[in-house]
Amino acid sequence: MDKAHSSRYVIERLNENYGYYLRASEAVEYGHTRFQEMEVFDTPMFGRMLRLDRVFMTSEK
10-residue mean pLDDT series, the chain (61 residues): 63 93 91 95 92 90 78
At 13 the pLDDT is 92
Residue 19 within a domain: yes
Q: Is residue 41 part of a domain?
A: yes
C-beta atoms surrounding 54 within 10 Å: 12
Residue 26 counted as domain residue: yes
Whether 3 is in a domain gets the answer no
DSSP letter, residue 59: -
Domain count of the chain?
1
Assess if residue 2 is contained within a domain. Answer: no
Q: What is the pLDDT of residue 6?
A: 52
pLDDT at 1: 45
pTM above 0.75, yes or no: no
Domain that holds residue 40: 8-57
Rg value, the chain, Cα: 12
* Any domain includes 47: yes
| CATH number of residue 38's parent domain | 2.30.140.10
